[in-house]
Chain A
Amino acid sequence: MPNLKSPLLVSGGPEKRVFLGEVDAMAATHVAACYQCGKCSGGCPLSFAMDYQPRQIMRLVQMGLADEALASNTIWVCATCYTCTSRCPRDIDIAGVMDALRFMARRRGFRPGDRNVGVFHRSFLNGVKRFGRSHELMLFVEYKLGTMRLTEDLPLGAKMLAKNKMAILPEITKGRAEIAALFRESARGAEKGGDKL
């Protein structure tokens, strides 16, 4: 967490607003347009669980405070429900900005501000990479092992198994080679400075 007491220093130097530009490009939006009305935070169903309100994230991006934005739990708690995006009076794709920030956080090696959410997304994509489709049981197990939250939610998992809502064996997409190629392209793009996608 930043030291909130020390003044934020803005050098006024001629450097471009790099971080703002990157986020704008990735989310195809203009964060500079944000006039901080707070309607995004007001309507966000998960704002209560965030360390920075969505409005504050927009301000961090405007001010180039990348580290704070990327380390926040906000971007991981965000469920991408698009309430903010659909209500923004400045037509900023706020949910898209959250996507961009999550992606940048991962690429730049930030530990997800919410560990469980990070493990979940990783586990989910691992499954897709492996089978071409998501396999809930394997996802559940991988997530449990990844977070070591072994006992949480077991009753629900058990019920779902009992009701045959989770298949024991995964379904597999035959064109797995294509799926693998897409994952390889994703990794390759990231190495080539994937932030600038």
Chain B
Amino acid sequence: MKRVGVFLCWCGSNIAGTVDVGKVAEQARRLPGVVHVEENKYTCSEPGQAAIVKAIKDQRLDRVVVASCSPRLHEATFRRTVESAGLNPYFFEMANVREHCSWIHTDKETATPKAFDLVRMAVAKALRNEALTRGSITIEKRALVIGAGIAGIQAALDIADAGHEVILLEREPTIGGRMAQLDKTFPTLDCSQCILTPKMVDAAKHPNITLYTWSELEKVAGYIGNFTVTIRRKARGVDETLCTGCGVCQSKCPVKVPSEFDEGMGMRKAIYSPFPQAVPNRPVMDRANCTFFKTGKCKICERFCEAKAIRFDQEDSLIEVKVGAIVTATGFDLFKVEKYGEYGYGLYPDVINSLQFERLVNASGPTDGKIKKPSDHEIPKSVAFVLCVGSRDEQKGTTYCSRACCMYSIKHAIQFRDKVKDGRAYVFYMDIRTPGKSYEEFYKRAAVDYGVEFIRGRPSKIFSRNGKLVLKAEDTLLGRPIEVEVEMVVLAPAMLARNDAAKIAQTMSISYDGYGFLNEAHPKLRPVETNTAGIFLAGVCQGPKDIPDTVAQASAAASKVIGLLSHEQMATEPMIARVSEALCSGCLWCKPICPYQAIEAKTITEKIQGKVVSREVAAVNSGLCQGCGACTVACRDGAMNISGFTNDQLLAEVDELLGASRPACAAE
């Protein structure tokens, strides 16, 4: 006879406020098999756990049910507790009376019986729980980092410094990402390139880092410790091993197109390296704009390339790598400010966005750091910086705050005032948000030391009058309409998830939110993990953030990876599919349904009435199976079961709830 102990948690008032725990305890005592019931204010606390251990010993319990919170929160905790008392941890069963009952109900009269239902179901299952043993898998001691902006570079360097191999993947021709486009960084105003390029070079030269630029993620298969990743190396048009990076090809190329890296503020060639400090220092061929690919003639680059590295016939290639962990650092896109027709972007050339301003103010940018109006290349004497273009706008943009715009726009205003001494800088804002170290001080310096003028109010329209741009707004602090005439306007666009973020997420089977930002496993306690084991997040792909937060998150993700890769083996949950070969009819309907390719056919031989017979049955690869349960649903024979969630165990819960005593014949 099984001896079940039931432990009812109050969770302070989280449960006890809505459920009459005493009453549930009283009823639980009468359940078959239950020999011990006790309540605890916080079962997860040290004394709460000690009470379980004590009861297991004193009452000789062999099954334990805790009715408390979600198994996601404390199942692992209580399994350890039970194990420490000498019981198999899978003899433990959890009833979720918090998330599934007390938190979603207000009426004690109805919540209490429901809580008891959940408890008796758990007891019914616990009576059928079996001892299970964890397996182990070998860990591939290599990591993949997707995206080589500052987040990816930082994560890659941290992991590589810890002695593990890293594959750093970047789809642009160079690593460096957004930060490489910036001039100075707030609040210290140190030069972005100066602090970034050494890291770029370190990443390229690190013996443990393999760099794949101009390459994209194609496919991810496998699971934590054993991912198989397919990478598409896009045709560069250049043999990287022969190219010396001399730059002659791009200087000779006759084609000029707007530079993506310069956000259209400057031009590039059809064979190009985005900027002089690009890593690797190897150009790529832009086939869409290349004269040869358009007309079949030109090849000037090839003619001048002394290294003979130009390859017009190069094709994309696919490579496969095995990694144990993945860091996703895919960055962000900017809100298209032209969606605000009232702001005249696209209509007035001197209305630009903040990243364009970064290129204008950048010493190595297309204007050599001179802030010049795109319209006439004159230096503007007045600039308005408009915050929240797309942020905090439910109609035209996104609902959230993009977090970095206040600070970088203040920085822009400071840079403008610094470069144009008699110029005037206006910042139109709704709230100035400066939640970082030395940020508020930076804001005050802008107002006091740099004379930046702050106007609280979202401009409603930007229009042209007598050759000036007029921002029509309300000074909400004065409570009166205001029109500010300036020569240039800089719009601070919202940070958006990459437009293909959903595709990336689906490729890796990780979840994403309504905006396309990748979801962390827990917003507070697991901020860099995803819900898919072995895949981690760094940087703005998870949500808008500035450089310090991005770097911190990248190092956090790296530390998780390092922790994982520091083991040779890792324990696997025993809750995976198993086949009852006796019942399996070998139809193999389960095989195509398995998302992990974990099921194969297997031939078995058995003696039936003295005759040796061979037949085909399904076989589960315990290394690949993730215990999702899809096969058990597909199995017509009831031969497929997930250990710990067998048909028998689940039906016992259902029967308990329905009050039916299951006929023996159904219990196959």
Contacts and interface: CB of A to CB of B under 8 A. Distances in A.
**Are A and B physically bound partners?**
yes
Interface of A: 4-14, 17, 30, 32-33, 35-36, 55-56, 59-60, 62-63, 90
A14 B424 contact: yes
Contacts of A33: 444, 447-448
Contact of B483 (A10, A13, A56, A90): A10
Q: Is the interface of A mostly helix, strand, loop or mixed?
A: loop
A7 B382 contact: no
B179 to A, nearest CB: 29
17 contacts: A7-B481, A8-B481, A8-B482, A10-B426, A10-B482, A12-B426, A12-B485, A12-B487, A14-B381, A30-B447, A33-B444, A33-B448, A55-B477, A56-B478, A59-B475, A63-B478, A90-B444
A35 B424 contact: no
Contact of A13 (B381, B448, B454, B478): B381
Contact of A17 (B451, B475, B477): B451
B480 A7 contact: yes
B107 to A, nearest CB: 44
Nearest to A14: B422
Contacts of B486: 12
Interface string B375-396: 0000001101000000000000
Nearest to B486: A12
Nearest to B482: A8
Given A12-B381, A12-B426, A7 B483 contact: yes
Interface in B198-247: none
A45 B381 CA distance: 43
Given A12-B485, A36-B456, A59 B478 contact: yes
A10 B484 contact: yes
Nearest to A65: B478
B485 A10 contact: yes
Given A13-B382, A17-B451, A30-B448, A8 B475 contact: yes
Contacts of B381: 12-14
Report whether over half of chain B's contact residues are helix, strand or loop; otherwise say mixed: strand
Given A9-B482, A32-B447, A35-B447, 17 more contacts: A7-B481, A8-B475, A9-B483, A10-B482, A10-B483, A12-B382, A13-B381, A13-B424, A14-B422, A14-B424, A17-B453, A30-B448, A33-B448, A35-B432, A59-B477, A62-B453, A63-B478
B393 to A, nearest CB: 23
Interface string B459-484: 00000000010001001011011111
Interface string B88-131: 00000000000000000000000000000000000000000000
A9 B483 CA distance: 5
A32 B445 CA distance: 10
Contact of A60 (B422, B478, B483): B478
A8 B423 contact: no
A126 B584 CA distance: 113
A7 B423 CA distance: 23
Nearest to B445: A33
Contacts of A6: 481
A7 B482 contact: yes
Contacts of A59: 475, 477-478
A86 to B, nearest CB: 19
Contacts of B424: 12-14
Nearest to A33: B448
A35 B443 CA distance: 10
A11 B486 CA distance: 7
A186 B542 CA distance: 65
B448 A8 contact: no
Contacts of A4: 480
A4 B482 CA distance: 11
Nearest to A4: B480
Nearest to B424: A12
A90 B447 CA distance: 11
A35 B382 CA distance: 22
Nearest to B473: A7
Contacts of B477: 36, 55-56, 59
A174 B432 CA distance: 58
Contacts of B422: 14
A7 B453 contact: no
A14 B483 CA distance: 16
A196 B523 CA distance: 56
Contacts of A8: 475, 478, 480-483
